[in-house]
Amino acid sequence: MNDTTQELPLTEYYGKWIGQMDAKLMCLKNSKGEFLIEKVDERIIKYINNNCLECVWRNQLLLITLIETERNKDAQSILVMLATLHPRLKDIFNVYELTTFLDFDPDIHMYEYLKGTVLSNSTNNMKKELLKYYQAALKFTNKWICDNLSVKEQVYFSQYLLQSVSFDSSDFSFNKLAKEETQTTRKDETDAVVPHLPKIRAESNFRWNQMKRLRDAFRQQIQEVENESLSLPIEFYYDEPERIGERFHFRLWDKPSFVLNHQTEFSAIVIKQAIERKSTYSDENNAYFLEFINAESLVSDVEAEGLWFNELIEKHIIGYWRWNRPIEEHEGILNFLSLWGYESANQQTPKPFHSQHKGILTPSTFVTLHKDKAKGLLIDVEPFYVACTFGLLAIDILTTTGARVNELLQINNTNDCINKKSFENRMVYSFLAIPKGRDELEEFYLSKQTMLHLQTVLRLLKEHYDDGVIPYVQYREKRKHLFPQPLPYYFQYAGKAIKKETIYCSIRFLLHGLIFETKNGKPVTIKTHLLRHAFATEAVQRQKIPIDIVAKMLHQRDLDVTEYYSAPTATQIVESVNELHDAYSSYQDIEDAYLRSPQELQKEFDDYREKVGVFNKVLGGTCVTDYVCPTKMQCLGCKAKIPEPDQENELLEVIKLSRDMAKRYKLLGLEVEVRKANEMAKQARIELKEIDLIKKYREECHYVPTIQHNPYR
C-alpha cells in the first residue's frame, strides 16, 4: 500500500473522520491504485457518518463497506447489510456492557443472543438476518484481504476483521421459525388483498384518470398564461365527475411569482433575482407548479375529501422526508407511516414515497424547500403524473399475469419483446421476458387493456424525450448480466431504466388510502410480490384452476412453491367449511360418496386436455390462457378470462337463465342443481361488477372538466 502521507483521498469525509476512523483504513486502495473510500456510494457514507462513528465497531463496518463496494455489490444491498449488523451489534454490546471490540466474543455473546438467552424480544427474522450478514461479511472480507494485500498489510488490517464463529444456522431453530413466520405473515396479507383485486385494478384506473384531469387542467392554464401574457398567480377551479362530486380549487404559480408574493419569507437577494428573473429564476430555469387551495363538495351534507394524496403532502413524507425534521415532527411521521403499515425492514427509517429516480413522484427542489410557505398544498404535477402512469401499468400487469417485478421491468418497445398476432379477426398481445431461474425468454399474455396502458406510457416517454424516440438504456435490476445491451425499456425515465424500488413507490402512491387489514387488524400495504401471491391464491382457491396450470401461468417450475403461493387463506378456509356444512345439510345420504383414484383423476384430466386458444371470445369476455383449459370450458368466473364490457348482455342472459333453471330444479327437488344454478348467477354478478368498474373508469377517461377562473385575492 502506498505511503498515505503522500496522497490522500479527495472525499470530504476523510478529514471529518480523522481521529475516529483508522487513517490507513480510509486510505486502502485496490490493485489499480484507487482509493476504495472514493468509490463508496454517498448514501452508505452518510449512513456510517450519521449512525456509526460513536460505536467501537465502526472500523469493522467501514472495512466491510470498502470491500463490498470493490466487489461491485449493489449500494442498497450494502446499506441493508450495515443496517442489519449495526443495530444488532449495538443491542448485544449494550446488554453485555462491552466497551471495546476485543471484548466481543461471538461464540459467547452472539451465540447467546441467537439462542434467545438475552434480548428475547428479538424476532426470529432479526436473528436469521444477523447471522446471514455476519457470516457473509466475515467470509468476503477475509478472502479479499488474503487475495489483495501483502503479509504486512494483512497483519495490520486483521484487527478490523470480524471475529470467526464456531457455529452455523443449523445450530438454531430460528431459521425454520423465521420462514414459518414469514409465510404466515404473507398468507395473512394475501387474505386481506385477494377479495379486493378488482377494486385495486379499478381504483388505480380511477385515480390515474383523476391525475390526468389535473395535469390537463394545469397545462391548459400554462398555455393560456403564456399565450395571453397573464400575470401570475391565477386561480381556477373545475368539477370532478359525478362519482366524486367535488370541485377542486387551485392556484397556478411559477418560481418568480411565488417569491414575489411571499417576500417576507425570502431574502433580499432572492427577491432581487426573482424581480430581474435571473439565476434560478431565469426563463430557462423557471418552472410552473400548483397550489391546491381546497375541495368543495357538490353534494349537500357531504364533506369534501379532496385529492387522495393530500395527506401525504400535508405530512411532508413524499421523497426523502427525514432531513432536518424536529423530533416531534419526526415521531409524528413515523406514527403516521406505522398507522398505514409503511414500516421498513432492518430497523431502517421507512421512506415509502421516496422513488430514488429523478422526475418520478419526488417534487422539484424549489417546491420541496418552500412548500411550507404556501397556505395550501404545493403540487409538482409532472412527477406525480409520471408515478401514477408507471404505477397503473405495473398494477395492471401484476394483477392480470402474476408476473414478477423483474419480468415487468424487462418489457421493451421492440418487435422481439412485444408480440402482436392476428387470431380470428382479433389482435393477440404478449411480451417475452426471462423468468427467475431461467436464461431463456418465455411468453406472458397481455389483455387489450394492458396494451392501452403500454401506449399511454409510450406517449409519456416520447413527450418526455422531446424527439419522440424512446432511448436505449441499460437494464439496472438483478440479473442484469442477462441484458448486456441497452434496450428501449418501457419502464425508464430521465435517461435511466427504472428499478424495483421506484415501482414499489409508484404503486404505494397510486393506492394510498385504500384500507387492507389482516384478520387481527394489522394494516397491509400493497407490494408487487403480494399481488403475485394474491393472483395465485385467487386462481387456485376461488377459480379452481389446477396447480400445475397456475405454475405455468406464474412461470414456476417447482410445484411446491406454487402450492405455497396458492395455499388457502384463513377466510377461504372458513368459507369452504361453511359451504361444506351447507352441503352436508342438503344431502339425504352421503354413504354413496366415494373418493376417486389417481387413475380416474388422470383419465378425467386427459379427457379435457385440450387447448382453448389464446384470446378466444368466450362467455362474458376473452380467454387469455394458452394451456389446458383450467375450468373444463366453464368460463364463468375463470381467472384466465378478462371480462369485456361489450359482452355484458351475455352475463345478463346467464343470470336470467340461471334463475329459470333454479326454479325448475327446485320443483324437481334437485337441490345440488339449484346450488349450481345459483353459483352461475353469483359468478355472473361478480363479473358484471368488474365490468361496471371498467365502464366507469373508461367513461371518466373521456370526461373533460370545464375550467373556470377566479380573480387572485
Has residue 60 been placed in a domain? yes
At residue 250, what is the residue type? Answer: F
Judgement on whether residues 167 and 21 belong to the same structural domain of the protein: yes
DSSP-derived 3-state class of residue 67: helix
pLDDT (0 to 100) of residue 323: 63
Has residue 321 been placed in a domain? yes
Judgement on whether residues 239 and 331 belong to the same structural domain of the protein: yes
Residue 605 scores a pLDDT above 80: no
Cell of 232: 401570475
Residue with cell 387474505: 191
Judgement on whether residues 157 and 266 belong to the same structural domain of the protein: no
* pLDDT tens per residue across span 319-366: 887 666 777 888 888 888 888 888 765 556 788 999 999 999 999 999
Task: Report the 10 Å Cβ neighbour count for 207.
Answer: 23
Task: Report the 10 Å Cβ neighbour count for 509.
Answer: 24
Give the confidence band of 574 by pLDDT, cuts at 50, 70, 90. Answer: low
Judgement on whether residues 125 and 228 belong to the same structural domain of the protein: no
Has residue 587 been placed in a domain? no
Query: Cα separation of 499 and 385, whole Å?
Result: 18
Judgement on whether residues 247 and 130 belong to the same structural domain of the protein: no
Residue 613 scores a pLDDT above 70: no
Last residue of a domain, one of 143, 172, 201: 172
Judgement on whether residues 168 and 291 belong to the same structural domain of the protein: no
Comparing 265 with 557, which gets the higher pLDDT? 265
Residue 584 scores a pLDDT above 80: no
Give the confidence band of 615 by pLDDT, cuts at 50, 70, 90. Answer: very low
Last residue of a domain, one of 382, 402, 423: 382
Q: Is residue 361 exposed (0-12), middle (13-18) or buried (19+ Cβ within 10 Å)?
A: buried
Judgement on whether residues 219 and 368 belong to the same structural domain of the protein: yes
At residue 614, what is the residue type? Answer: V
* pLDDT tens per residue across span 430-446: 999 999 888 899 999 88
Judgement on whether residues 139 and 277 belong to the same structural domain of the protein: no
* pLDDT tens per residue across span 632-681: 445 665 555 566 777 778 778 888 888 888 888 888 877 767 777 777 77
pLDDT (0 to 100) of residue 620: 61
Judgement on whether residues 226 and 158 belong to the same structural domain of the protein: no
Has residue 36 been placed in a domain? yes
User: Nearest to residue 110, comparing CAs of 139, 135, 80, 77?
Assistant: 135
Residue 603 scores a pLDDT above 60: no
Comparing 542 with 262, which gets the higher pLDDT? 262
User: Nearest to residue 664, comparing CAs of 682, 685, 649, 678?
Assistant: 678
DSSP-derived 3-state class of residue 461: helix
pLDDT (0 to 100) of residue 588: 37
pLDDT (0 to 100) of residue 667: 84
Query: Cα separation of 316 and 579, whole Å?
Result: 48
| Residue pair 250/231 in contact by the 8 Å Cβ criterion | no
Last residue of a domain, one of 351, 382, 413: 382
Judgement on whether residues 261 and 215 belong to the same structural domain of the protein: yes
| 377, β-bridge pairs | 292
At residue 712, what is the residue type? Answer: Y
Residue 116: left if φ>0, alpha if ψ -120 to 50, beta else—which one?
left
- Omega of the bond prior to 233 within 30 degrees of 0, cis? yes
pLDDT (0 to 100) of residue 422: 79
Query: Cα separation of 220 and 469, whole Å?
Result: 25
| Residue-number span of the structural domain to which 233 is assigned | 209-382
Judgement on whether residues 154 and 233 belong to the same structural domain of the protein: no
Based on the structure, what is the number of domains in the chain?
Answer: 2
* pLDDT tens per residue across span 450-492: 999 999 999 999 999 988 889 999 999 878 888 999 999 999 9
CA distances from 521 to 186, 412, 503, 676 (A): 15, 40, 26, 34
Has residue 624 been placed in a domain? no
Has residue 703 been placed in a domain? no
* 587-613 b/e (C-beta count within 10 Å ≥ 16 → b): eeeeeeeeeeeeeeeeeeeeeeeeebe
Query: Cα separation of 48 and 14, whole Å?
Result: 13
Residue 540 scores a pLDDT above 70: yes
Q: Going edge to edge, which strands form the sheet with 246-254?
A: 377-379, 288-297, 246-254, 234-239, 708-710
Judgement on whether residues 222 and 271 belong to the same structural domain of the protein: yes
Residue 139 scores a pLDDT above 80: yes
Comparing 53 with 448, which gets the higher pLDDT? 53
Has residue 287 been placed in a domain? yes
% helix / strand / coil in the chain, to the nearest 5? 55, 10, 35
Query: Cα separation of 22 and 674, whole Å?
Result: 80
Mean pLDDT of the chain: 84
Has residue 153 been placed in a domain? yes
For 234-246, the DSSP string reads EEEEEEPPTTT-E
* pLDDT tens per residue across span 99-115: 999 999 999 999 999 98
* pLDDT tens per residue across span 149-185: 999 999 999 999 999 999 888 888 777 776 777 777 7
User: Nearest to residue 430, comparing CAs of 643, 624, 618?
Assistant: 624
